[in-house]
Amino acid sequence: AQTVTQSQPEMSVQEAETVTLSCTYDTSESNYYLFWYKQPPSRQMILVIRQEAYKQQNATENRFSVNFQKAAKSFSLKISDSQLGDTAMYFCAFIVGGADGLTFGKGTHLIIQP
Amino acid sequence: NAGVTQTPKFRILKIGQSMTLQCAQDMNHNYMYWYRQDPGMGLKLIYYSVGAGITDKGEVPNGYNVSRSTTEDFPLRLELAAPSQTSVYFCASSYTAPGQGVYEQYFGPGTRLTVT
CA dihedral B94, B97, B99, B104 (to 10 degrees): -10
Mean pLDDT for all residues in chain A: 94
Q: What is the pLDDT of residues A90-109, one digit of tens each?
A: 999 999 876 679 999 999 99
Q: What is the pLDDT of residues B98-114, one digit of tens each?
A: 777 777 899 999 999 99
A45 with B90: Cβ contact below 8 A: yes
Regions of chain B where pLDDT drops below 70 = none
Task: Summarize the confidence of residues A63-84 as an average pLDDT.
Answer: 97
pLDDT of A2? 83
Residues of A with CB under 8 A from a CB of B: 4, 33, 35, 42-45, 47, 50, 52, 91, 93, 95, 97-107
| A24-26/B10-13 β-pairing | unpaired
